[in-house]
Amino acid sequence: MKRLRLLLVPLTALAAVLAVASPAAAVTTEEKVSVLSSWTQTSAASYNAWNAARQNQGAWAAYAFNWSTDYCSSSPDNPIGFDFKLSCYRHDFGYRNHKEMGLFAASKARLDSAFYEDLKRRCATYNAIVRPACYSLAWTYYQAVKEFGSIAVSDAELARAQRMKRDAIRANGGLD
């Protein structure tokens, strides 16, 4: 019995160490949705929580979030010197992850509103003389994503549209 206890104590200790050192348990869909939702609200606290996670993505690896971004897509990241880059990054994060979770349609309006709030908070950091121009650009960026943000056009669709335009021009005798 003593021998068995001498063997069990180290094995129990080893099991405890391995349990602590092992990778975290798989994240449930509900947990992922909860964190995703908390990071894509309109508040500054939501933005700050997302930004802290962005800077420490490894801590969130079990959630398998899509952190990819093209920032402000085809719009300037720094229009006339106003830095919209991180606002666009969080907007991309929201769009991409909500799409992957099948929640995009129900979340798009909130994601766009969060983007606008992020832009306005960024504008508030600029000098009062230039701030109105920043707010105007923020409104323009918001309106663009509100209207066109859900449109995803593939290269094949673009090529098809270009062919159709070219064919229409030819059919009209070269007149556009």
Q: Which two tokens stand for residue 126?
A: 């600029």
CA–CA dist 30, 158 (Å, integer): 37
Contact 34, 48 (CB under 8 A): no
Out of 50, 53, 87, 91, pick the active-site residue: 91
CA–CA dist 150, 2 (Å, integer): 69
Contact 110, 40 (CB under 8 A): yes
Handedness of CA 128, 130, 131, 133 (dihedral sign): positive
Contact 90, 122 (CB under 8 A): no
Q: Is 91 a catalytic residue?
A: yes
Residue 158's identity, in one-letter code, is L
Q: Among 138, 157, 155, 145, which Cα is nearest to 94's?
A: 145
- 3-class DSSP state of 15: helix
Catalytic residues: 91
